[in-house]
């Protein structure tokens, strides 16, 4: 039993750690859109509750049909039905809006991550000699004909240029 609790605790800790990283990444990529996505998700989660409450009110109005005058019943049923239609329409509209903003946020996060990967790749000094034009020119002008392998090339520590 104790082992199960430890495992569950570890799972929740990793979940919250990863959620914190995701929120930080979203905030770094696009702060406004990340807040909008969170707010739309919260609002969207309230719509099923509101729809269920309105449906309950509608069914309660129908159940007490015999105790109320028919004109009042139609007015109550009409109001609840209109409210249900409004809630349903808003739910569909906010779903589309949330999908759009979530897509924009994912695009922004993708651009941020690609930029970070490119920056890290360019900061790597291990391939700097491959980007040096003089390295490529050595082979084309026959200056390293004496060496058939790359082991003959030596790097000059002053200017980081490879020479035979």
Model pLDDT, residue 137: 61
- Give tens-digit pLDDT for 24-74: 999 999 999 999 999 999 999 999 999 898 888 888 877 777 676 777 777
Where is 150: in which H helix or E strand?
none
Question: In the prediction, which pLDDT does 95 show?
Answer: 92
What pLDDT does residue 63 have? 79
Residue among 16, 35, 6, 13 at smallest CA distance from 105: 35
Give pLDDT, residue 12. 93
pTM for the structure as a whole: 0.60
Q: Does pLDDT of 161 surpass 90?
A: no
Checking if the pLDDT of 17 tops 90, the result is yes
Name the residue with higher pLDDT: 157 or 83: 83
Listed as own residue / partner, the contacts of 84-88 with beta carbons closer than 8 Å and 24 or more positions apart are 84/51, 84/54, 84/55, 84/58, 87/47, 87/50, 87/51, 87/54, 88/51
pLDDT for position 1: 63
Q: What is the mean pLDDT of the chain?
A: 79
Mean pLDDT of 145-163: 46
Let me know if 105 is exposed, middle or buried by CB neighbors in 10 A (0-12, 13-18, 19+): buried
Query: Rounded to whole angstroms, how far apart are CA atoms 36 and 27?
Result: 11
Taking alpha carbons only, the member of 100, 3, 110 closest to residue 44 is 100
pLDDT digits over 75-122, tens only? Answer: 777 888 888 889 989 999 999 999 999 999 999 999 999 998 888 777
Return the residue matching tokens 């569950």: 8
């Amino acid at each position: 039993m104790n082992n199960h609790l430890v495992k569950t605790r570890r799972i929740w800790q990793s979940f919250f750690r990863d959620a914190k990283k995701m929120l930080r990444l979203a905030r770094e990529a696009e702060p406004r859109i990340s807040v909008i996505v969170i707010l739309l998700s919260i609002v969207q989660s309230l719509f099923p509750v509101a729809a269920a409450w309105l449906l309950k009110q509608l069914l309660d109005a129908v159940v007490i049909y015999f105790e109320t005058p028919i004109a009042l019943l139609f007015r109550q049923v009409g109001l609840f039905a209109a409210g249900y239609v409004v809630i349903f329409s808003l739910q569909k509209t906010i779903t589309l809006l949330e999908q759009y903003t979530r897509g924009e946020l994912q695009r922004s996060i993708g651009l941020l991550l690609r930029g970070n990967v490119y920056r890290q790749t360019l900061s790597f000094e291990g391939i700097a000699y491959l980007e040096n034009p003089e390295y490529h020119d050595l082979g084309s002008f026959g200056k390293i004909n004496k060496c058939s392998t790359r082991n003959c090339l030596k790097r000059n520590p002053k200017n980081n240029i490879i020479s035979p």
